[in-house]
Structure 1
Amino acid sequence: MTNAQLKEELIAYSKSIGVDKIGFTSADPFLQLKDRLQTQQKLGYQSGFEESDIEKRTQPKRLLEGARTIISIALGYPSKMNNPPKSTKEERRGVFCRASWGKDYHDVLRGRLQKIETFLQNRVPEARTISMVDTGELSDRAVAERAGIGWSGKNCAIITPEFGSYVYLGELVTTVSLEPDIPLTEQCGTCTRCIDACPTGALVQGGQLDSQKCIAYLTQTKNFLPEQYRKKLGNRLYGCDTCQQVCPENKGKDFHLHDEMEPDPEIAKPKLLPLLTMGNREFKEKFGHVSGSWRGKKPIQRNAIIALAHFKDHQALPVLHELMQKDPRPVIRGTAAWAIAQIGSIEEKNRLEQAKNKEIDEEVLLEIEKGISILENKS
């Protein structure tokens, strides 16, 4: 079998197992990416979630000795929900970003990649492979761009002609030599809609993201959310889709190709109040299978409190009082105090002062004092 035939077989096999797009590139170093990553590091724009070793991120042969080819795969996911529940005055709801709808995409893509690895090793027994999704050393986006899956958009997402940017990405590095595909030409042109629409100005310029300002990143942090971003959060519980929603390339793109990616509306748009009193076991049972749960329930509950403040939901006040007074986690107590001040009137001042007299955590005390100041300005 020639390598060209093997490549054709791999393409056909990938389609048979539900891979929507596949591309091939060499395992040569990612030199342009290296320059970009060094710049990001100097500017402090990295999130801290990514691999910190730039050499590992840009030198595939450091990950697999004798690496010759990287295979990139993409799976399209839905952008619209069937019969989405409405957030009403009686029952306010939060929202998970589209990338966290359905089963955790890490598991879905790893399953596809494992099948491709097995297929390849059956055809070429001496082949060695490693695969990764999102949390691996390589940049999924840089690999996909060079493998012709799509172009790297100004919103820092891979944009495919077929599915827009609503795709999950993964890659497989192998010692087998396969003909590389031709990268696509960047097609964003003069459009800056994503940059203009970014709620926090995290898109510094086309293709450059300050992760520290990105709402998708901020929703995953575990500490107090910086105050300047709280009102930007809206009712987002995990992630942010704004830069994808405004992209012209995503207009009319909505694919329901994989059952495991279909969202449960009650999980993708959950009621906010029940989230505040949910225990670890219940949270894991309800949300454990989605990617948005990977940081645990505390960030989601903190974000839910901020969302209730966004809605000015007076029904939430009794639960927020309880959290401010009794929750063992400072971040939850302090955020609850801030939310009470956002929602309530000067009558809440007495409750905050009582909480202040009992509180010993300095950060929580700052939030309570902040809340008292907000209430006084309302009177």
Structure 2
Amino acid sequence: MPSPLTDLPVHLLAEIFLRLPDPTDLACASAACVTFRRLATDGSFLRAFRGLHAPLHLALVNLGGFHPALPPHPSAPTARALALVADFKFSFLPSHRQWIVWDVCDGRVLLSRKITEDGQPRVFPELAVCDPLHRRYVLLPPVPDDLAASVEHRLPHPFLAPLGEEEEAAPTEETAFRVICLALGKTKLAAFAFSSSTGQWRDAASKDLSDLGLGMRDSDMISWMNPFYLRRHYAYGCFYWDFLVVKRNLLLVLDIRRMELSIAEVPPGGWYREGVAIVEAGEGRLGMFGLRGEHETASDLRYAIVRNRGESPNQWLMKKTISLDSGYHYFIKAVTERCLLLMRTESLPGSPIEKPLLEYFTMDIETLQLQRLCAKQFKLRLPPSSIYAYFFQTGIYTNFPPSLLPPWTV
């Protein structure tokens, strides 16, 4: 008689599971028995599986709430199941109505809320990393006073970052996480990093504005670096911000391997005011998507790549121009490892259409194929200063199963 499948060595089971065609199949297999569940939730196995399979784009998370993928998108059935069991209203957090979503990565969500001391709001908000599927969370300690005092304007921009060496070396590496907070002072930019392995914040990077070549007034920097409007992209160990593109064709870069801040150039040529997106183009080369157009609408999406592998991101080669449907306002919303997220609408808030339809599309970076993910009617009643924050700040909830927080967390 043949041996039961559960009697196979773990390394052979792992090879079988790695060849499952879809993450949903892995989820079904993990429910069969304890052995399968233990393998399917192992951190090293999940990293190998995600490296071979494109992530499921299950939902969008922003100020408007949770928006699951809709039919005919292939992730729609899994997204519907996720919506039934997960808590994206974050009711398991203390005073949950006060929290604001900042970032989403691998099943985790980073949120913040303002807190007061002596009747005054604290400069750096309280931060929490949570798992909405299992209703668990970790409250981060406050940024130490000596670090907070080093940035006068203190416009914090927190986000989840890939693991560093100390997290990868920790015994609980599969549940570790790292948060980086970008902040602005009168004369410098600074980055503070929190590691779940040490439970502490540290001064990770700092650069004088003059050394970055940003000789501008404080008011200009504060306006451009409003945390709600900063678009952030990650590729090959670096984060990129495009808030300098429109006027100066520059990108702000943070290399998290060496923890260094720098400036890179983008191709010249009138990029649309909604900026660009930096992606991994393959073979170690950077790619860049950018909207171009006239007046208030974009007419096409252009794609450029760095000429040679390992070359400075100041040498770009235009590769392709993708025509967009006319009559829409387009926004670059987010980027994951393998896709670009676009939003389009026929009308902006405050125009004759009071509740415009917001449509979201994913574009595969390799095939450049567009696919409609979901749509939502704009219904939020926000003050004028906050309306555009809704348009810019959106996270993509991907991957199944999500990275689990440790069993000892709240």
- TM, length-normalised to structure 1: 0.24
Q: Which structure has the highest helix share of the two?
A: 1
Larger radius of gyration: 1
